[in-house]
A = this chain, B = another copy of it.
Amino acid sequence: MNTGGRPRSEEARLAVLHAVDDLLLEVGYSAMTMKSIADRAKVSRATVYRWWSTKAEVLFEASALDSVKELTIEASGDPRADLVAYLDALAVFLSRSPAGIAYRVLLTEARGDAAVAELFSSRDVLGDTSRPVLERALPGAVGDRVLASFIGPVFFWAASGRDPADLDARELVEAFLRSVRP
């Protein structure tokens, strides 16, 4: 058996992923086309299609790694400070980071596009990154409801286009903690 053939160009792969990041910020999701991605990456259109079926897929791969990286909070020893740090990171992520913008866009796309929904089924970025932080502060009490109460306010703030700088994460965490501990 011949396992030969020219190997995939890592250079091309990275060029595409970076192009997608750039274009998302510059022109937005709907104005970003497979053609504009290929042109920006200086790669042929066929090369993009060879490795990704849709722009949602490219975008997902482009943001997946960054998402976890940007939302991972090291344990500082002070669980309450970690919660504040997480919300701060989340606010910036959802409002400013290409990966976070991509996350919001793809989440919206997921409704009405089963292929995109499928991408999310394998990985719950916000849940996976927030749960450890929450567990440190509230051991054993972290269900979906509590998680939504923690993340929701910041998520809504970012989604509705408000400035993350106007958020007071410390105040939000205190309110959150009051809400779970009567």
Interface residues of A in 145-180 (CB under 8 A from B): 145, 148-149, 151-157, 159-162, 166-168, 171-172, 175-176, 178-180
Residues of B within 8 A of A172 (CB): 145, 149
A34 CB to nearest B CB, Å: 13
A165 CB to nearest B CB, Å: 13
Chain B: CB-nearest residue to A27: B112
The answer to whether B117 touches A161 (Cβ under 8 A) is yes
A30 proximal to B (CB < 8 A): yes
Residues of B within 8 A of A112 (CB): 24-25, 27-31
Please give the count of copies of this chain that the complex contains. 4
> Cα distance A104–B109 when bound, in Å?
10
The answer to whether A155 touches B159 (Cβ under 8 A) is yes
A39 CB to nearest B CB, Å: 16
A127 CB to nearest B CB, Å: 8
A124 CB to nearest B CB, Å: 8
The answer to whether A105 touches B108 (Cβ under 8 A) is yes
A182 proximal to B (CB < 8 A): yes
* Besides A25-B112, A178-B179, 18 new A-B residue pairs in contact (Cβ under 8 A), listed by A number: A27-B112, A30-B109, A31-B113, A104-B108, A105-B108, A105-B111, A107-B160, A108-B108, A126-B160, A148-B157, A149-B152, A149-B175, A151-B156, A152-B153, A152-B154, A178-B178, A178-B182, A179-B179
